[in-house]
Amino acid sequence: MAQSMAIVVRAWILFSTLLVAAGWILSALHQLNRAGYAVIFALAGIAFIYWWRKNDFCAREFFRKVSCKFRRRFKRVAPFLFLILVLLSLLSGSLYPALNYDANAYRLPRVFHWLWAEQWHWIHAYDSRMNISGCGFEWLSAPLMLFTRGDRLLFLINWISYLMLPGLIFSMFTRLQVRPRVAWWWMWILPSGWCYALQASSVANDSFAVIYALAAVDMALRARENKNVTDLWLSLLAVALLTGTKQTNIPLALPWLVAAWPSMRLFLARPAGTFFFVVVAVLVSIVPISIFNFENYGTWMPVDAGISKLGQFQLNPFWGIIGNAFCIPLQNLMPPFYDLIPPLYNGWLEAWNEIMRDFLLTPFGSHFDSFEKFGYLSGKYYHGISEGNAGIGLGICLLVLISIRDSMRYRKKENGGKIVRGEKFQGLLRVAPWGALLLFMAKVGTYENARHLSAYYALLFPLFLVRPWHSQLVRNRQWQCFSLCVMAFAGVMIATSVGRPLFPAKTILESLHAEFPRSKLISHEYFQFLKSGYQAVEARRNYLAATLPPTETTIGYYSGIYNVDEAGMWLPYGRHRVECLLPGDSPDYCRSLGIHYVVVDVVTVQNFDGNINKWLKKYHATLVGQYQSYEPSNAMLAFPVFYLVRLNEQS
């Protein structure tokens, strides 16, 4: 990794640590507000100035070198294509609001709840993910949401992380004995993986953690080379941040442990500093939320606390590995646009999912019943690959298969070649991520595991690329052309992403439909998704803003786990707060919170109350209006209506 990239990565790790630690510290002090963050940023600024003067850092020289390298590097096609992906992602993130389902369902609302209370707290909500999930991305989001009073800039967390991905890949790969020429090609190819390219412009929290995973291993290896305890401390912080983002990232601590093990004695060289960084690492890791989970549920990771059946962490390890060995490749090999392929939009996906449901009823299939939805494909709900279900992607999977096939020819020419084996621990380190993958497969049974593996993919490749014949393969013109096509198609994926197209989709598609009215392709539902896009999200938010009286400071929200509207109800932040209402909450409880208006989810009403009329009678309320709820990135959540009701005064 170039020196400039190393500085940027170190700064990002320290900045991430600052924000995550600040979130917990300010919560403990009940000062999670603008004043609290101002103090934190002021102290961080003083520390930065002290470091600047002590190290005689010349910002002008640094940026001059970076700009010179920038001009030289992007003259070549592969880096230039990555630059196009970066710019497309920036444009997509700037034009559209936060559309990600998980973000709207619980990750953004939970931050608004904390900011309003000026501390982290256990939220009174039906969806337990509001409380039990890792908080890493949320603590990075909190100051942005607080100072901008919204969520439009949150994509920058993913986008900035995306910029660092090529440099970190090259640095780690070469330290694991991958030849520089091979590492150079793959440092540009891997960021075009669909999970990375599509999430770079979103508020999803899967792929950005790959920076922590790569940095943890890379910094540990640098510490071993340079005998520098500072790099080892930074690697410790990186792996702590990695676990704090998602519980499913915990197995990735294994590669870090292997990488850091030869340098562990460096910790003893500066015990005071080591103690400080260990304390900070614990604070920014998964430990705090695990403690709160244990206090409230009696386990560090609850699996069925208000959410519909979730089998992750309950799998039989053997059948978990067998099942994921089927599901993960299946999800990664799916085509990008399901609805544009006639065999698929004729009901093929529905038929496949029905086959999987029937399979679970068989004696052999019952072994996989603990999976959330074994073998399930979400094409019907996404109408193709999107940020919500993308793995590394079909393009890179095909490139890997082609590379394996073609590399055999070079292997025979070189009579097996000479593998640079390096030291034993480097070989072990190349294998360790695959051990982490097995741990993941043995424990995690969600139906979108291809997406949840976003932090894993890049670490899996060195074992495959260390073979000497890859240095000959990457010189092959046909291989290079196919690799560049894979990268270019990632740009197509960004530009045509469901709900956030980067072309005048509505104008073009309506013209085509007028020209070819009988075309099944043009009139298909996918294009209805594409041309409606983000307007549905904005329409819901604008409806509430126009309907609710400006004097209302508290709004009730009666919903189950599909509470995709709560984030929008908070905007602009500071106007009013939202209180989640559970099916068992009494009318008196609602009124004691000062609630006069409630947004009611029709599905929750049907599940717990029968119909809206019974709910209105129970709560002595009047129906004010109703509006369509539609989540472009996940049509499964396209519920018929949400009701807006007013609680009447008790007679």
For 369, other C-beta atoms within 10 Å of its C-beta total: 15
Q: Is residue 462 in some structural domain?
A: no
Helix (H) or strand (E) holding 645: strand 642-647
Mean pLDDT, the chain, rounded, equals 84
Predicted pLDDT at 381: 52
Predicted pLDDT at 273: 94
For residue 398 the two structure tokens come to 């095909």
15-29 average pLDDT score: 97
143-169 average pLDDT score: 94
> Which of helix, strand or coil describes residue 644?
strand
Predicted pLDDT at 398: 94
Helix (H) or strand (E) holding 598: strand 597-601
Q: Is residue 161 in some structural domain?
A: no
Reported as a single tens digit per residue, the pLDDT across 385-404 is: 888 888 999 999 999 999 98
Q: Is residue 629 in some structural domain?
A: yes
Does position 434 have pLDDT exceeding 60, yes or no?
A: yes
pLDDT class for 440, splitting at 50, 70, 90?
A: very high
Q: Is residue 566 in some structural domain?
A: yes
The DSSP symbol for 107 reads I
Predicted pLDDT at 98: 79
Instruction: State how far the Cα of 593 lies from the Cα of 588, in Å rounded to an integer.
Output: 9
Look at the chain and report how many structural domains it folds into: 1
Predicted pLDDT at 327: 93
> 517 preceded by cis ω (within 30°)?
no
119-145 average pLDDT score: 93
Q: Is residue 454 within 8 Å of 196, Cβ to Cβ? A: yes
Does position 380 have pLDDT exceeding 90, yes or no?
A: no
Residue 557 has, within 13 A of its CA and on its CB side, a CA count of: 27
Q: Is residue 78 within 8 Å of 185, Cβ to Cβ? A: yes
Which span out of 29-38, 95-104, 339-348 was modeled with the highest average pLDDT?
29-38
Q: Is residue 606 in some structural domain?
A: yes
Predicted pLDDT at 339: 55
Instruction: State how far the Cα of 5 lies from the Cα of 66, in Å rounded to an integer.
Output: 9
Predicted pLDDT at 633: 41
Predicted pLDDT at 536: 60
The DSSP symbol for 518 reads T
Predicted pLDDT at 49: 85
Q: Please list the alpha-helical segments (H only) found in 207-337.
A: 210-226, 229-245, 253-260, 265-269, 271-284, 287-297, 317-332
Provide, rounded to the nearest whole percent, the portion of the chain with pLDDT above 70. Answer: 83
Phi, then psi, of 643 in degrees rounded to 5: -100, 145
Q: Which residue do the tokens 């998704």 mark? A: 529
342-350 average pLDDT score: 59
469-484 average pLDDT score: 91
540-549 average pLDDT score: 74
Cα separations in angstroms, 418 against 288, 412, 415, 472: 48, 12, 9, 13
Reported as a single tens digit per residue, the pLDDT across 84-93 is: 999 999 999 9
Predicted pLDDT at 404: 86
Predicted pLDDT at 344: 47
Reported as a single tens digit per residue, the pLDDT across 175-203 is: 999 999 999 999 999 999 999 999 999 99
Predicted pLDDT at 66: 62
Instruction: State how far the Cα of 149 lies from the Cα of 147, in Å rounded to an integer.
Output: 6
Q: Tell me the whole-structure pTM to 2 decimals.
A: 0.91
Predicted pLDDT at 455: 96
Predicted pLDDT at 301: 78
Reported as a single tens digit per residue, the pLDDT across 606-641 is: 888 888 888 898 888 998 888 765 444 444 444 447
pLDDT class for 64, splitting at 50, 70, 90?
A: low
Reported as a single tens digit per residue, the pLDDT across 549-584 is: 778 889 999 887 667 778 888 888 888 899 999 888
299-310 average pLDDT score: 57
Pick the range with the lowest mean pLDDT from 451-460, 512-521, 615-624: 512-521
Predicted pLDDT at 251: 96
User: Which residues form the domain of 640?
Assistant: 535-647
Provide the residue type at 40 as one letter. Answer: I
Which CATH number does the domain housing residue 563 bear?
3.40.190
For residue 123 the two structure tokens come to 């939220």
For residue 477 the two structure tokens come to 């013109």
410-421 average pLDDT score: 57
293-299 average pLDDT score: 87
How big is the chain, counted in residues? 651
Q: Is residue 251 in some structural domain?
A: no
Pick the range with the lowest mean pLDDT from 64-73, 145-154, 249-258, 461-470: 64-73
Please give, one letter per residue, the 3-state secondary structure of 15-29: HHHHHHHHHHHHHHC
Q: Is residue 299 in some structural domain?
A: no
Predicted pLDDT at 193: 96
